[in-house]
A = this chain, B = another copy of it.
Amino acid sequence: MTYCVGIQVDEGLVFAADTRTNASVDDVRVHRKLHVFQWPGERVFVVMTSGNLATTQRVIACLQRDADDPDAAQSLRGFRHLFEAAAYVGRLLVESQARVDEADAERGTSTQATLIFGGQIAGERPGLYLVYPLGNCISASPETPYLQIGESKYGKPILDRIVRPDTSLEDAARCALLSLDSTIRSNLSVGLPLDLALVRAGGLRVERQMRMDATDPLYADIHANWSRRLEQAVQSLPRFPWEAPREAADPGPPARDGHPERS
């Protein structure tokens, strides 16, 4: 399994991915799922992958082959619009999914994959797409400023509660790390290290790219801090009507006009 999340805020794009792949619970490996293609100052693209590894590795290899070939009929170098580049990625994805006959399908074999593709081409705003196994795609929007692939449920509540278009790029990145951390904690098939990439709007390059494992001080700090902060937040939530007021040592949440704290 896999978990990748892409976030689009006004300040730019955040991409975050785990690196665990498994053919079964006893065949677990580390593979990169976050890939950057950039021509700084001109265009920048990030692709994240989930699903069949043979399929996704072929997609990435084809993207690289075409980008390196000045005579390629189509490549990420050439498109004037991001949605055209997304459609091209979708065509490569469809091509890369080996045919599965009915008998294989019944045995559970699938060569399908799903991608998150985003970036910016000079002259356009940044964009973020989810590319389906059929090659078609949907984009993020102000109402739904994030896209997920893989094991998405555990990490969704934090995104639903926090991310809005006016969230800062770094706060969006912290949310992405929390979303991944929640998933890793609750599901064995998603694992460290993590890859993180930030694309600031107008920067036309990956501004920051990091790989983080459990010993990374920033990740360890986020991991440790978050549980402590959540615990404090739970303790400072409204009291039930029958509970005694909090002790003076614990000031509790600030009072709000028109909605006094119960105690």
B-side contacts of A162, CB under 8 Å: 227, 230-231, 234
In the complex, what's the smallest C-beta–C-beta distance from A170 to chain B, in angstroms? 6
In the complex, what's the smallest C-beta–C-beta distance from A18 to chain B, in angstroms? 15
> A218: which of B160, B178, B240 is its contact (CB, 8 Å)?
B240
Q: Do B154 and A240 have beta carbons less than 8 Å apart?
A: no
Q: Which residue of B lies closest to A207 (CB)?
A: B242
In the complex, what's the smallest C-beta–C-beta distance from A235 to chain B, in angstroms? 6
Q: Using a CB-CB cutoff of 8 Å, which residues 245-263 of chain A contact chain B?
A: 253, 259, 262
In the complex, what's the smallest C-beta–C-beta distance from A5 to chain B, in angstroms? 14
Q: Using a CB-CB cutoff of 8 Å, which residues 153-203 of chain A contact chain B?
A: 153-158, 160-162, 170-171, 173-175, 178, 182-183, 185-186
Q: Do B242 and A225 have beta carbons less than 8 Å apart?
A: no
* Residue A107, interface by CB 8 Å: no
Q: Do B241 and A218 have beta carbons less than 8 Å apart?
A: yes
Q: Do B230 and A233 have beta carbons less than 8 Å apart?
A: yes
Distance, CA A218 to CA B242, complexed state (A): 12
Distance, CA A262 to CA B210, complexed state (A): 16
Total copies of the chain: 2
In the complex, what's the smallest C-beta–C-beta distance from A197 to chain B, in angstroms? 13
In the complex, what's the smallest C-beta–C-beta distance from A45 to chain B, in angstroms? 22
Q: Do B242 and A174 have beta carbons less than 8 Å apart?
A: no
Q: Which residue of B lies closest to A186 (CB)?
A: B156
Given the interface pairs A157-B186, A185-B160, the reply to whether A234 lies near B173 with Cβ below 8 Å is no
Q: Do B242 and A237 have beta carbons less than 8 Å apart?
A: no
In the complex, what's the smallest C-beta–C-beta distance from A224 to chain B, in angstroms? 8
Q: Do A226 and B170 have beta carbons less than 8 Å apart?
A: no
Would you mind naming 22 contact pairs between A and B with Cβ atoms under 8 Å apart? Answer: A153-B154, A153-B186, A156-B186, A161-B227, A161-B230, A162-B227, A170-B240, A170-B243, A171-B234, A171-B235, A174-B237, A175-B234, A178-B234, A178-B237, A208-B242, A217-B259, A221-B237, A222-B237, A229-B233, A229-B236, A229-B237, A229-B253
In the complex, what's the smallest C-beta–C-beta distance from A196 to chain B, in angstroms? 9
> A238: which of B158, B161, B182, B221 is its contact (CB, 8 Å)?
B221
Given the interface pairs A157-B154, A259-B221, A262-B221, the reply to whether A170 lies near B239 with Cβ below 8 Å is yes
B-side contacts of A154, CB under 8 Å: 153-154, 156-157
